[in-house]
Amino acid sequence: MNVYQLVKPLLFGLPAETAHDAVHAGLRFSQGTPIADALRSRYRVDDDRLRVEAFGQQFDNPVGVAAGFDKNAQLPEMLSSLGFGHVEVGGVTADPQSGNLRPRMFRLREDEGIINRMGLNNHGADVVGERLAATDTDVPVGVNLAKTEHVAIDDAPEDYRYTYEQVADGGDFFVVNVSCPNSEGFRDLQNRDSMEAILTTLQDAGASPLLVKLSPDLPDPAVEDALDLVNELGLDGVIATNTTTDRPDTLRSHNRAEEGGLSGKPIEPRATQMVRFVAERVDVPVVGVGGVFTAEDAYRKLRAGAHVVQLYTGLVYRGPSIARDINEGLLDLLERDGFDSVEDAVGADLE
């Protein structure tokens, strides 16, 4: 029995965000201590076959932490100790934000999902930027950039630019988040003109590598528009996907009617389908996110064209051994199918 099987019932007895805060505090407390070293030797899988190069970054393994878990860049070192190959911090906005009223995060236990309507609560670009500059982490750290709530859509490019400039020195790659379902009008930023204005402003400011994160709720023609832009502007990558406002019929939990973005197991098929759709249309690397809990889940996204994967909800349900379990499982799957490395398997299911 692993420790998380003992701790999980206690955490799941708390409201979801309270449990998240408790875990966060525990991880912060352990960071930089011998506990972190002990976790590192237990959870980091060191194997050349897991290494991936994408958008100029060297990843020791393909399993990263998705945006939203470490919104304020307090834990990249600790998450590396838990075996993750990269960490995406944020979403960060120019101004600090408190987000929506609590409760705003709900477990869908029977479905192994989460619905959240956090509303981009974060400490703001100045604080996060300083923290990142003082952080020394041995894995790539991406920064998820988002629009400040009170800023009008027309002013969004300058708002993103400000945030980028504060975090530029501490980030290894930058992600334009135009797909958060929890801020009024936020996803309107995914229309072509708005996206183009934001992306070109960030490129002019020197943001590189620059990726864009898309919503699974975009209809195919809108995804195609966004991908045309990715190709035209020469962006460095695409992240698919954010959470969904859709509610699959299969959901059983009583929390399914909560408002917000759904993540976890229930979005895995749609997210993987979107990874494939994107990979078929762009030449740049794809980051696959949505419902990755197991090695098989990660492998499916890699074979569908993702170079690396990320997860958030899986960490909540499976606990701190998830990166190790996925990485070890991936090595078995590679061997079973005769691939020499993860890079060999990327896109294996594409035509």
Chain positions contacting ligand FMN, by CB under 6 A: 66-68, 71, 90-91, 105, 114, 116, 118, 120, 144, 177, 180, 213, 242-243, 263-264, 267, 289-292, 311-314
**Distance separating alpha carbons of residues 86 and 44, to the nearest angstrom:** 12
Closest residue to ligand FMN: CB criterion: 68
Between 49 and 286, CB nearer to ligand FMN: 286
Specify the DSSP class assigned to residue 332.
Answer: H
CA-CA-CA-CA torsion sign (325, 326, 330, 336): positive
Between 271 and 334, CB nearer to ligand FMN: 271
Measured in whole angstroms, the distance separating CA 207 from the mean position of its chain's CA atoms is 19
The one catalytic residue among 45, 92, 115, 180: 180
Tell me how far, at minimum, the Cβ of 38 lies from ligand FMN, in Å: 26
**Residue 26 CB burial class (10 angstroms; 0-12, 13-18, ≥19):** middle
Tell me how far, at minimum, the Cβ of 122 lies from ligand FMN, in Å: 7
Between 180 and 278, CB nearer to ligand FMN: 180
Between 148 and 313, CB nearer to ligand FMN: 313
Beta bridge partners of 113: 108, 264
Reported as half-sphere exposure (CB side, CA atoms, 13 A), residue 311 has a value of: 31
Measured in whole angstroms, the distance separating CA 69 from the mean position of its chain's CA atoms is 8
Between 74 and 242, CB nearer to ligand FMN: 242
- For the chain, first and last CA: distance in Å? 42
Please answer whether residues 15 and 103 qualify as being in contact, where contact means their C-beta atoms are separated by less than 8 angstroms.
Answer: yes
Is 180 among the residues known to form the active site?
Answer: yes
Q: Is the peptide bond before 248 cis (omega within 30 degrees of 0)?
A: no
Between 85 and 264, CB nearer to ligand FMN: 264
Count, residues in the chain? 351
> Measuring CA to CA, how many Å separate 210 from each of 96, 187, 298?
23, 19, 23
Tell me how far, at minimum, the Cβ of 199 lies from ligand FMN, in Å: 16
For 302, residues 6+ apart whose C-beta sits below 8 A from its C-beta are: 62, 288, 309, 330, 342, 345, 346, 348
Please answer whether residues 257 and 229 qualify as being in contact, where contact means their C-beta atoms are separated by less than 8 angstroms.
Answer: no
Tell me how far, at minimum, the Cβ of 213 lies from ligand FMN, in Å: 5
Tell me how far, at minimum, the Cβ of 106 lies from ligand FMN, in Å: 10
Tell me how far, at minimum, the Cβ of 351 lies from ligand FMN, in Å: 26
Please answer whether residues 63 and 84 qualify as being in contact, where contact means their C-beta atoms are separated by less than 8 angstroms.
Answer: yes
Residues annotated catalytic, as ranges: 180
